[in-house]
A and B are shown apart, each in its own frame.
Chain A
């Protein structure tokens, strides 16, 4: 229930995947752009957002295909060199979506695949977050998914906090919301 209001969770569930309708549905023609009447025919292939596909699967109205970001091509790329694969362009919520999609499509290999990808990328993230200066880091930042970005930023902020404590900087800060305002008005 704590994820009901979570923005990341909501945006992640918007990811589209193709489903195969096992039954017909009336009055929802807008879902299928190729439908001529105001209905979706049984046996048609439609692209639905994940939240809708999930609910319809639970009601046994559709069968869900694997989203394109988990296909064979991505798996081969990750096996070749996990740290260099651009996961953000495939799906910014790669890991979370994989966890949610796995029971829908009945693919048992997704779990181990996600773990393998994450372990390999995490080594890189950890070392670069703790050591890199600003100039070096941005090269590989666009490749990270949202979850990895959060880890990276947490590590960076703890490093800056540590350095600040060591040097003994000012402990009172101007409220961050004002800081942005003043810069933009100058």
Chain B
């Protein structure tokens, strides 16, 4: 009560690494929602008591009034905690779209709530429609480019891939000379690594 459980949600968010996601904590979320309802009922009963004593609701400052104030403040506090929880998770999900592309790996997909998955799909669709209007892929060149081509070693078996200027067979441990824009996606998903020197 009084905002203690809602802080648990936020402590969970703050303890995990920045940019990482934990599973959506539906249990605590629902408990906080129930607490909000309880506060609201108490608030209403206190307001009714003030009205029964035929005092003016706006100006009385008796004990009921302050009790009602405390319940109201707890409600606002719970609301703030819940909204901050959702907002911060939504920010992380947005950044995932930029880093990992339109398809999320299974292990991350499991951690999302149903509405968060919908959010990701809609955000992805909005980004793609915007990019197609500009005819520009916005998710490449996140680091200012130095060379149009880079040397990469493939870490995982990908197989035959059709790229803009070649169609190499990306077998494991093979080394290729790829266009930077094509390779960037694979590197950020962990399927390739850049070779230097």
* A→B interface (CB under 8 Å): 4-8, 10-11, 14, 23-28, 30-31, 39, 49, 51-52, 55-56, 59, 61, 168-182, 185
Contacts and interface: CB of A to CB of B under 8 A. Distances in A.
Interface residues of B, number: 53
Interface in B1-26: 1-4, 7, 10-11, 13-14, 17, 19-21
Nearest first, the 4 closest Cβ-Cβ pairs linking A and B are A27-B67, A25-B66, A24-B63, A26-B67
B73 interface: yes
Given A25-B70, A55-B73, A176-B19, A182 B63 contact: no
A7 B21 CA distance: 15
A172 B187 contact: yes
Contacts, number: 129
Contact of A28 (B71, B83, B107, B187): B71
Interface of B: 1-4, 7, 10-11, 13-14, 17, 19-21, 42, 45-46, 49, 61, 63-64, 66-71, 73-74, 77, 80-81, 83-84, 87-88, 96, 99-100, 105, 107-108, 143, 146, 150, 183-184, 187-190, 193-194, 196
A169 B196 contact: yes
Contacts of B11: 11
Nearest to A39: B63
A172 B88 contact: no
A28 B108 contact: no
A39 B13 CA distance: 34
